[in-house]
Amino acid sequence: MAEVLQVLIIFLKILIPASMLKFPLLGLWGNYFLDVVDGDILLSLGMSDARYQLIDKSTDFISYIFMLILGLRWSIKKIVIILFAYRVAGQILFFTTGNELVFLYFQNFLEPLMMIYALILFKQKDEKKAYLTYKKHLYLIWAIVLIYKIWNEWYLHFANIDLSMLFFGFTGGVK
C-alpha cells in the first residue's frame, strides 16, 4: 500500500505542474503546496532520503519546464528565461556533485515570481494589465521574492531546519 501511495504522490508531482498550462494560478500554487508536503509524506511512507532527493529534484526540474513554457506566454518572459537558466545551473551542479548547498547559491526565484504573477493575472483578468501592475510594484514583488527564497533555501539546504517538526511536532524523515 505504501508503494502505491508513493507512486500516486510522484504522479501528482508531474500532473500538477502540467496543469499550470491550463490553470496557471491553481497549478502554480498547487505545485508549491505539494512540494512543501511531499517530503514528509514520502519519507513517512518509507522512502529513503536519497531516493526522495533524486525524485524531488527531478520532478522540480519538470515543474521548472512547465513554468518556463507558461512564462513564455507572458510579458515577463525574459526574466523567466533568465531565472529558469539560473536554477537549472543549480540543478546540474546538484546532480553532478550531490551537494545540496548549491541551492543556497542558485535559489529558485522562478517559482515565487510565477506564483505572484499568476495571482496578479488572476486578479487583473488581462495579461497587459497584469504586466503593468507587476511593473508598478516591481520593487515590492522582488523584495518578497528575494527575501522569501533566500530564507527558504537557507533553512532547507544550509541550516537543515525541519519546519514540520518545528511547527507541527512531526516529520516524515529522520533527522
Residue 58 belongs to a domain: yes
Range of the domain at 101: 2-168
Instruction: Compute the average pLDDT of residues 134-163.
Output: 87
How many structural domains compose the chain? 1
Helices (H), ranges, the chain: 2-19, 24-44, 49-71, 77-97, 102-105, 110-124, 127-136, 138-157, 163-168
Residue 175 belongs to a domain: no
Residue 6 belongs to a domain: yes
Q: What is the DSSP letter of 172?
A: S
pLDDT of residue 2: 87
- Alpha-carbon distance 63 to 54, whole Å? 14
Q: Is the pLDDT of residue 174 over 70?
A: no
Q: Which of 64, 65, 45, 60 is nearest to 100 (CA)?
A: 60
- Alpha-carbon distance 106 to 150, whole Å? 10
- Alpha-carbon distance 117 to 129, whole Å? 11
Residue 35 belongs to a domain: yes
- Alpha-carbon distance 158 to 145, whole Å? 19
Residue 28 belongs to a domain: yes
Instruction: Compute the average pLDDT of residues 132-142.
Output: 98
The three cell numbers of residue 61 are: 526540474
Q: What digits encode the pLDDT tens for the residues 3-56? A: 999 999 999 999 999 999 999 999 999 999 999 889 888 998 999 988 998 999
pLDDT of residue 138: 98
- For the chain, give the mean pLDDT: 91
Instruction: Compute the average pLDDT of residues 112-137.
Output: 98
Residue 174 belongs to a domain: no
pLDDT of residue 156: 75
Higher pLDDT, 35 or 154: 35
For the chain, give the percent of residues with pLDDT over 70: 90
Q: Are 2 and 46 in contact (CB under 8 A)?
A: yes
Residue 173 belongs to a domain: no
Q: Which residues contact 45 (CB under 8 A, 6 or more apart)?
A: 2, 5, 6, 9, 172
Q: Is the pLDDT of residue 117 over 50?
A: yes
- Length in residues, the chain: 175
- Alpha-carbon distance 175 to 165, whole Å? 10
Instruction: Compute the average pLDDT of residues 61-65.
Output: 96
Residue 42 belongs to a domain: yes
pLDDT of residue 167: 58
- Alpha-carbon distance 39 to 102, whole Å? 19
- Alpha-carbon distance 34 to 12, whole Å? 8
